[in-house]
Amino acid sequence: MNYAEMLAKVSTASGFIAALDQSGGSTPKALRGYGVEEDAYTTEEEMFGLIHDMRARIITAPSFSGEKVLGAILFERTMDGEAGGKPVPTALQDRGVVPFLKVDKGLEEEVDGVQMMKPMPDLDALLQRAKAKGVFGTKKRSVINQASPSGIAAIVKQQFDVAEQILAAGLMPIIEPEVNIKSVDRAQSDIILRDEILKALDKVSSDHKVMLKLSIPAEAGTFDALINHPRVLRVVALSGGYARPEACAELAKNKGMIASFSRALLEDLRHQMTAEEFDTALSSAIDEIHAASAT
């Protein structure tokens, strides 16, 4: 797929985006969920090798195709690896799945109720490398823990500033200011975030569009103005700690949002499964998430 074909698919097709981008800090937890305990590896390289094997198994499973999976967000090491004997972005495109790349370097400590993104000094070089490999877009995450107007405004400004850098490189940014679904003032955070994003969207350069990855709102319909905004290509939802049935039920209340789930997609997959068992479990998860995204 070329960029125009990927753009058309992401903007109009039915489906969801798989998040396969667990980074160093979240990898041990992801492996434990997959049935691989920490005594199965002794070095970071071995750990990353095991998580790559899991991702490659998902990407090459018969049920993981562009019929219901629009895209997949990759960790940098996954982008640089292979699946089924092909570079991962190529393997995804060959299955009709649009590749994205996680580009943030993790979170700063909480200040003013939020966690900003750490600096990304090598971002331009990473973007050019990703584009050369056929990657369509990027994802970068911040976290909102409290309904702090100044903190949320700072997060939105940082996210959109970096988005302009990504747009200038010819890639599609997914802006992800995650609202912690366990925060006591979550609904208020959703509203402050929506309003800050609306202001920022009006300043996006040229005729560019961006994507948004948001926590499922506490009140259904809170993000309708974002979903319908002419500068927004697509609004996708993170599962935010919900188990898949609850995540899908909450997502289905928000027409126009589609899933970009990680744990909720992978929660039934186990290292010990046969190929048939693995694909059956993955297919069931894909069907359930697709149905919630299509409402």
Backbone angles phi, psi at 223, to 5 degrees: -100, 15
Closest to 259 in 3D by CA, of 37, 41, 69 = 69
- Looking at residue 26, what is its pLDDT? 80
CA distances from 238 to 76, 78, 176, 186 (A): 19, 20, 9, 15
The type of residue at 179 is V
- Looking at residue 166, what is its pLDDT? 98
Tell me how many degrees the CA angle 17-128-133 measures, rounded to the nearest 5.
55
Residues 6+ positions from 161 with CB-CB distance below 8 Å: none
pTM to 2 decimals? 0.96
- Looking at residue 175, what is its pLDDT? 98
Catalytic residue among 176, 178, 250, 288: 176
- Looking at residue 22, what is its pLDDT? 78
Which residues partner with 210 through β-bridges? 232
- Looking at residue 24, what is its pLDDT? 65
Distance of alpha carbon 174 from alpha carbon 124, whole angstroms: 16
Please provide the size of the chain in residues: 295
Residue in this structure with the two tokens 């309904």, named with its chain if needed: 147
- Looking at residue 255, what is its pLDDT? 96
Catalytic residue among 9, 68, 140, 213: 213
* 182 has catalytic annotation: no
* 176 has catalytic annotation: yes
Closest to 17 in 3D by CA, of 95, 97, 92 = 97
Predicted confidence pLDDT, tens digits, the chain (295 residues): 999 999 999 999 999 999 999 776 788 989 999 999 999 999 999 999 999 999 999 999 999 999 999 999 999 999 999 999 999 999 999 999 999 999 999 999 999 999 999 999 999 999 999 999 999 999 999 999 999 999 999 999 999 999 999 999 999 999 999 999 999 999 999 999 999 999 999 999 999 999 999 999 999 999 999 999 999 999 999 999 899 999 999 999 999 999 999 999 999 999 999 999 999 999 999 999 999 999 7
Q: What's the count of helices (H) and strands (E) in the chain, helices before strands?
A: 12, 11
Closest to 112 in 3D by CA, of 146, 156, 159 = 146
